[in-house]
Amino acid sequence: MSNLHPSPEAEECAASLAPAPVVQALAARVSSLGALPIRRALPLRERRLVGPWCFLDRYGPLSFAGEKPMDVAPHPHIGLQTVSWLLEGEIIHHDSIGSEALVRPGELSLMTAGSGIAHTEETPQSNSGKLNGVQLWVALPDAARNGQPAFHHYRELPVVEERGGLVRTIMGGRAATNHFSPLIAAELTIHRGAALELPLDAAFEHALLILDGEASLAEQRLVPDTLYYLGQHRRSMALGSVDGARCLLIGGTPLEEPVLMWWNFVARSNAELEAARRDWEAHQRFAEVKAYRGPRLDAPAFVPRPIR
Ligand code: MN
């Protein structure tokens, strides 16, 4: 996934904590990624981080025939991990370290950019004609952000049957995934007419996004395409649904230092962002994605974050 905003200004993302549990409803921004309509739930002006989670795009559900709804040409990343999670459909991933993975529903595709990687994400030639999923980015902590790029694909993830629903861990928690700061991502299924109560790590801040169906959180009705920021110090969460629902839960310990985000890069200074842009444009640092046919994405003009 790539940020295709025409002239993105570098954004400072600093943890802004709610001292107590809250329920803050934040409407996702409607945008598009090439031909693919998306709703961006992070970053938002009112909330740029949830723990280390700094980006959340929701796309689909959609049906298609013939065309290729996802076709993200080669583009670079630094300082973050990309998380692809599908509810329906398929994506084929290729990257500059030679990885190839067919991503299917219930599988985690996890790319660690470290000091620099380039990748592509496409609807494969052979497909189900459906696409429905999310892409998230995790900002890497300082100790890990200049590490070697890596790619991991997890076909089996822990699923626990709880009273009232299912908890499928995507990252962190019971899942032995490659991550670098305390965090959680999980797909929660709430059965029809059921209540699902889950313990939460009080050291984390959390947020919820409805993926399908309808649900309520402690009697408050939740609507689609809205990020519900839940604050920190919350020990449990009580969800309910009349007709059944799936939700995405994300959380983690707040980042200790503010990060700068611009285009597809997470860094700490304007100079680092500019250097990454220059290296991409000069075909340095980031190797080519050899499996992709077609031109790569050009970096937009850099607009530094004003030093205040
Ligand atoms: Mn990407």
pLDDT exceeds 70 at position 172: yes
Measure the CA–CA gap between 228 and 220, rounded to whole angstroms: 11
CA–centroid distance, 120 to ligand 1, in Å, is 7
pLDDT exceeds 90 at position 19: no
Which position has the higher pLDDT, 19 or 295? Answer: 295
Query: Would residue 13 count as lying in a domain?
Result: no
3-state secondary structure of 303: strand
CA–centroid distance, 125 to ligand 1, in Å, is 20
Range of the domain at 78: 35-281
Measure the CA–CA gap between 133 and 58, rounded to whole angstroms: 6
Per the structure, the count of domains in the chain is 1
CA–centroid distance, 108 to ligand 1, in Å, is 15
Query: Would residue 71 count as lying in a domain?
Result: yes
Across the range 208-213, mean pLDDT stands at 97
pLDDT exceeds 70 at position 308: no
User: Which amino acid, residue 96?
Assistant: S
Confidence tier at 4 by pLDDT (50, 70, 90): low
The 10 Å Cβ neighbour count of residue 199 is 9
Q: What pLDDT is stored for residue 93 in this prediction?
A: 98
Measure the CA–CA gap between 295 and 19, rounded to whole angstroms: 47
CA–centroid distance, 2 to ligand 1, in Å, is 4
User: pTM for the complete prediction?
Assistant: 0.95
The DSSP string of 220-235 is: EEE-TTEEEEEEES--
Q: What pLDDT is stored for residue 10 in this prediction?
A: 84
Which CATH number does the domain housing residue 97 bear? Answer: 2.60.120.10
Residues with CB under 5 A from ligand 1 (ion): 1-2
CA atoms within 13 A on the CB side of 166: 14
**306 - beta bridge partners?**
none
Q: What pLDDT is stored for residue 29 in this prediction?
A: 97
Q: What is the DSSP letter of 78?
A: B
Q: What pLDDT is stored for residue 304 in this prediction?
A: 81
- Enumerate residues 6+ apart whose C-beta is below 8 A from 287: 96, 97, 118
Cα dist from 261 to 76, 130, 180, 274, whole Å: 13, 31, 18, 11
Q: 2 and 75 in contact (C-beta within 8 Å)?
A: yes
Query: Would residue 121 count as lying in a domain?
Result: yes
CA–centroid distance, 148 to ligand 1, in Å, is 17
Query: Would residue 91 count as lying in a domain?
Result: yes
pLDDT exceeds 90 at position 11: no
Query: Would residue 225 count as lying in a domain?
Result: yes
Q: What pLDDT is stored for residue 6 in this prediction?
A: 52
Q: Of 222, 217, 219, 224, nearest to 239 (Cα)?
A: 217
Query: Would residue 274 count as lying in a domain?
Result: yes
CA–centroid distance, 305 to ligand 1, in Å, is 22
CA–centroid distance, 224 to ligand 1, in Å, is 24
CA–centroid distance, 268 to ligand 1, in Å, is 19
pLDDT exceeds 90 at position 157: yes
CA–centroid distance, 76 to ligand 1, in Å, is 7
Across the range 219-247, mean pLDDT stands at 96
Confidence tier at 272 by pLDDT (50, 70, 90): very high
Q: 74 and 292 in contact (C-beta within 8 Å)?
A: yes
Query: Would residue 202 count as lying in a domain?
Result: yes
Measure the CA–CA gap between 89 and 105, rounded to whole angstroms: 7
Query: Would residue 26 count as lying in a domain?
Result: no
Q: What pLDDT is stored for residue 266 in this prediction?
A: 97
CA–centroid distance, 158 to ligand 1, in Å, is 26
Q: 129 and 64 in contact (C-beta within 8 Å)?
A: yes
Proportion of the chain above pLDDT 90, given as a percent: 88
- Walk across the sheet containing 265-267 and list its strands: 11-13, 259-262, 265-267
Question: What stretches of 90-225 adopt beta strand conformation (E)?
Answer: 91-95, 100-103, 108-112, 117-122, 130-139, 150-154, 159-162, 165-172, 183-190, 194-199, 205-213, 215-217, 220-222
Confidence tier at 5 by pLDDT (50, 70, 90): low
pLDDT exceeds 90 at position 126: yes
pLDDT exceeds 70 at position 28: yes
| Residue range 29-66, pLDDT digits in tens | 999 998 899 999 999 999 999 999 999 999 999 999 98
Over the chain, what is the mean pLDDT? 94
Across the range 134-148, mean pLDDT stands at 97
Q: What pLDDT is stored for residue 256 in this prediction?
A: 84
